[in-house]
Amino acid sequence: MARINLLPWRAERRKQREREFYIQLGVAFGAALVALIGWSLWMDARIENQGERNTYLQAEIKQLDDRIAKIKDLEKVRADLLQRKQIIEQLQANRSQMVHLFDEMVKTIPASARLAGMKQSGESMSLDGVAQSNSSVAEYMRNIEASPWMGHADLRKTENTHDASRMPYSFGLDVRLNSPAETDAPAGSSTAAAPATPAAVPAPLAQAAQSMTAKPAPSATVAPAANATRAPAPAAVPAPTGAKP
């Protein structure tokens, strides 16, 4: 016998599907909310971590800036010390140079000329003076160029003042100075070559030293005696030539 269901099952099934849909929608909304909260917390943690890193980097950058400022100060002090060292070395090098220059000034200036002023700037010197004639100025220039401490001399000016003084000509010279290294090189070579001549002189002294050192040996004492008697023999060679006539 067949059973016939006359209840509204389609409406109940529709309501059940609606309930399932709302349940799924609520679960999805809850999952999305949890995911959003988790993502927000994770981003806040990353932002906080990055902020801490930025703070650390800024502190390190500040320390590096302080060190760079100290290094710049030290470099400035170093540059000042090097500049002072160069000035001191230059003054020490020029001290002996000025002494030689004054000596050369006295040696090179002729009797018919007189210096009125001099000014040094670097490796050049300006000389101003008076002379009896232009030939005296030319002689002074030749003497300057022959000096080992002074080089080429350029005539800057020469004027005749037409006065009644003993030295009516005024002149100006620009002189190039030689560095001490250039002048010391020949001196060093001469001093180095100087011992070469005494090295050849002490030949008799060497023979005397050999004879003195040979005296303690009994056999050696006889040999020098024989040599001493035979040594004058070559000196007596001219006797036969003189005896021929």
**CATH number of the domain where residue 157 is located:** 3.30.70.2830
Cα–Cα dist 128/171, whole Å: 6
pLDDT at residue 239 tops 60: no
Rounded Cα distance between 176 and 153, Å, is: 7
- Residue 7 counted as domain residue: no
Range of the domain at 165: 109-180
pLDDT band at 35; cut points 50, 70, 90:
very high
Q: Is 225's pLDDT higher than 90?
A: no
Structure-token pair, residue 204? 């008799």
The domain tally of the chain equals 1
* 165 part of a folded domain: yes
Helices (H) and strands (E) in the chain, counts: 8, 4
The one-letter amino acid at 3: R
Residue 212 included in any domain = no
Residue 154 lies in a domain: yes
Residue 218's pLDDT band (boundaries 50, 70, 90)?
very low
* Residue 72 lies inside a defined structural domain of this protein: no
What are the pLDDT digits (tens) for 84-123? 998 888 777 666 677 777 777 778 888 888 888 888 777 7
Region 19-45: what's the mean pLDDT?
94
| Least confidently predicted of 45-49, 182-186, 217-221 | 217-221
In a domain, 198, yes or no: no
Q: Which residues pair with 118 in a beta bridge?
A: 127
Residue 54 lies in a domain: no
pLDDT digits (tens, 9 = 90+) for 162-213: 776 777 888 898 888 876 554 444 444 433 333 433 334 344 444 544 444 4
Q: Is the pLDDT of residue 226 over 60?
A: no
Closest CA to 113 of 99, 97, 133, 127: 133
On whether residue 208 sits in a domain, the answer given is no
